[in-house]
Structures are given as C-alpha cells and as structure tokens.
Amino acid sequence: MTASASPARLRAGSERRTRTLGNRLQRPGMVFVLPAVVLFGLFFTYPLLASLWQSLFASHGGITTFVGFDQYLRLFSDPLIGKSLLTAGILLVVQVPLMLALAVGLAYLLNQGWLRFRAGFRVLHFLPAVTTLVAYSVVFRVLLATDGGAVNQLIGLVGLGPVDWLNNETWARVALIASITWRWTGYNMVIILAGLQSIPAELYEAARIDGAGRWAIFTRIVIPQLRPVLLFTGITSTIGALQLFDENFILTGGGPSDATLTPVLYLYKVGFRQFDFGYASAIAWLLVVLTAIISIVQFRLSREKS
C-alpha cells in the first residue's frame, strides 16, 4: 500500500503541470467514484455509526433506555463471550499453525525442480478452496456422523472408535479444526508457493556454494524469505478464525455445550434469536476492536523487518 502511494503522487505531480487538463478532469474522476461512495455512505458508514449508537441502549419489553457502557461491561462477565473467544484462541493456537505448516511443507515439495505432474498436484490440493463453505460443511457433517459415518467406519477398520465427533466437546473441536484445515490448506499453499517462486535463485546457489545442507537452506533461507507471506497468511487466517460462522453453524451449531461457539455465531444468536440488538452491537464492536488489534500487530511486525 505504501509502495503504491509514491508513484501515484508522482503521477499527480505530472497532472499538476498540465493544469487546464488536470482541472477539466476532476469532474469525471468524481463521477466514476460516485456510485461506490453513495453506496458506502448508505450501507456502510451509516449502519456502522448506527451500530455504535445502538450499543449504548438496552431494550426490555419494548422500552428502550440509554445504558451508557453497560452493554460493554456485560461482555466481561459473560461466560459465553469467554467460550467464544476460547474457540477462536484454540483455532489460533492449534489450527492456524497446523495449517500453515502443512501449507509450507506442501508448497516446498511442489517447488522442487525435478517434480513431475506439478500442475496436477497444485490443482488437486487447491480444489477444496473451490467448495462453497456451507456445502463442504454439510459433507463433513455427514462424513463425521457417529453411527456409520464414513470416517468412523474407516478408523473402525484399524480397530479404533467409533468417535462421537460432533457431540463430544473435545472431538467437536477436533472435527472443526480438521474441516477448516481441509478447506484452507491448499489456498494458503498457493500463496506460499508464489512466495517461494519469488525467492531469487542466487540465494540458493550462494548457500549451496557455502556448503549449506537442505535443512539449513530451508531454515536459514526459505523461512526468512517467506516471512512477509507467512505473516500475511497468518493474519488472514487469524481474522478468519475470529470471524468464523458458516462452518461451525452447519457442523455443530456451536455446540456441544458451546464448545465450538465463535464470536460471530454468538453475535448471531444474541442478535437474531434473542433479538437483543444492543448487546449484539456491543459484541460486534468487540469484534471490530479485536480485528483492529490483529491488523495493528501485523502492521508492526511487517514494518519491523523493512
């Protein structure tokens, strides 16, 4: 973003020199942008402010009263907020690293020069990213059925199970982690593969001449060079975990005992099952703040290097 700002400014400078042309061209620029600006004003800025306003009110039996920051204080004493953040935290600590490690490993293998059928392998691994979120969650729900589900039949062949995947707190989390990992590993792999391909070949050459082994090349060259890409995939995956809805809504409905509840699913339940709009708005702003914190961390980390 910062990189693209300077050429834009340069271009603006050249327009300034041809002043008459530049002035004449102000209006069309605004016309091109106008539809987007009007729509954003109506359906983004206004509802955003409305949500902030609404989070300061509570309604009981049709009477709405101003409660100040009470809705936000409620967040801190609500055990379900804790549970939903715990789910997001587990995804962050277990699912995101697992998926990124798999994605880096697969991308590294796919980047080997001698590999045949590379395009085929790439397409096959990317396929899960093509599925509709609801559809793949439905398929996993059926595959993970306790009685006679395909996964239980498969592990039954080696004498394991049957596992009550979707009704046991621990296994439901495992099932959720497995499903998300299936859906998103190939997607991240393709991003990381592009990162690998942009590492200059001279770096490998130099390391090889210095007598570095394959492992040393991987840890000393590949991983540091991938840092920006890993940061990007890590942050998007973290935000994805925080905003997860489709998968756990379909797979478990957030259960059992809210073991797979996420902040957005909780927001949905509070807002549209209990119709507590004030509290739902407070949850929404908690989400905004957490997302902002993650984005700031990303910004800081990416600046540290450069």
**Residue among 63 and 119 whose Cβ is closer to other proteins:** 119
Q: Does 109 bind other proteins (CB under 8 A)?
A: yes
Q: Does 297 bind other proteins (CB under 8 A)?
A: no
Q: Does 51 bind other proteins (CB under 8 A)?
A: yes
**Under rule CB under 8 A, which residues in 66-105 are in contact with other proteins?**
105
**Residue among 65 and 206 whose Cβ is closer to other proteins:** 65
Instruction: Find all residues with CB under 8 Å of 161, minimum gap 6, and list them.
Output: 152, 155
> Which of 73, 93, 101, 127 contacts other proteins by CB under 8 A?
127
Where does this chain touch other proteins (CB under 8 A) — which range of 40-48, 68-76, 167-175, 203-211?
40-48
Alpha-carbon distance of 89 to 84, in angstroms, equals: 9
Output phi, psi for 64, to 5 deg: -100, 130
Nearest distance from C-beta of residue 101 to other proteins, angstroms: 13
**Under rule CB under 8 A, which residues in 137-196 are in contact with other proteins?**
138-143, 145, 147-150, 153, 182, 186-187, 190-191, 194
Nearest distance from C-beta of residue 279 to other proteins, angstroms: 10
Q: Does 2 bind other proteins (CB under 8 A)?
A: no
Alpha-carbon distance of 39 to 17, in angstroms, equals: 34
Interface pattern 209-248 for other proteins (x via CB under 8 A): -----------------------x------x--xx-xx--
Query: What are the angstrom distances between the C-alpha of 179 and each of 91, 139, 247, 277?
Result: 12, 10, 8, 31
Q: Does 115 bind other proteins (CB under 8 A)?
A: yes
Query: What are the angstrom distances between the C-alpha of 261 and each of 1, 19, 77, 204, 236?
Result: 35, 58, 17, 45, 20
**Residue among 92 and 129 whose Cβ is closer to other proteins:** 129
> Which of 177, 238, 249, 260 contacts other proteins by CB under 8 A?
249
> Which of 58, 84, 100, 125 contacts other proteins by CB under 8 A?
125
Where does this chain touch other proteins (CB under 8 A) — which range of 26-34, 58-66, 74-82, 216-224?
26-34
Angle at 231 between CA 261 and CA 113, to 5 degrees: 115
Q: Is 51 exposed, middle or buried (0-12, 13-18, 19+ CB in 10 A)?
A: middle
Instruction: Find all residues with CB under 8 Å of 151, minimum gap 6, and list them.
Output: 143, 144, 163, 165
**Under rule CB under 8 A, which residues in 257-276 are in contact with other proteins?**
264, 267-268, 271-272
Q: How many helices (H) and strands (E) does the chain have?
A: 17, 2
Alpha-carbon distance of 302 to 140, in angstroms, equals: 36
Tokens representing 295 are: 């984005």
Nearest distance from C-beta of residue 264 to other proteins, angstroms: 5
